[in-house]
Amino acid sequence: MKKVETELKDCYILEPDLFGDDRGYFTEFYNQKRMEEYSLNTIFEGTVQANRSMSRKGTLRGMHYQLGKSCQAKLVECLQGAVLDIVVDIRKNSPTYKKWISVELTAENHRQLLVPKGFAHGFLTLEDNTIFQYLVDNFYDPSMEDGIAWNDSDIGIIWPFEKYGINEPILSEKDKNRQTLKEKSVLFE
């Protein structure tokens, strides 16, 4: 497995090794010893819950996070189809506060993204029947769920809808009505 640095502090792309033959391939998608070797175990303390979503093309899920003791680090990957994964550093004292990156995660490239605590996370599905998996280091708590507007102009995320043939994103009611980061009273330090 290869660890690739991103422009955001504590946020990494992981590229698993693939071992294959005419039958298919094998890869490790999580290895605690490797996380320790790469000093990522302090960012991702281990899996306590695994989630999957299936979405049609053009679905935008985000930008989500959990607050307080329910804050989560995530190790995410696309098992089927493709996504444009976006993370925003919303830790007020971070040198990369309010900065964001996008990473294309596909079933073919097998890339994973390690999303630290204190980051808003979202993704845009680029194909129908896209299956996305999250390994999280803390249990989901609906009372501590929060998010910011996917189109917060102060952050300026570029969602290249036209590039992927998407006219308009498909959003949940919750995600349509999220506040901007500036409107949030509770943030991460």
Contact status, residue 184 vs residue 147, Cβ threshold 8 Å = no
What amino acid positions are annotated as catalytic residues?
Answer: 64, 134
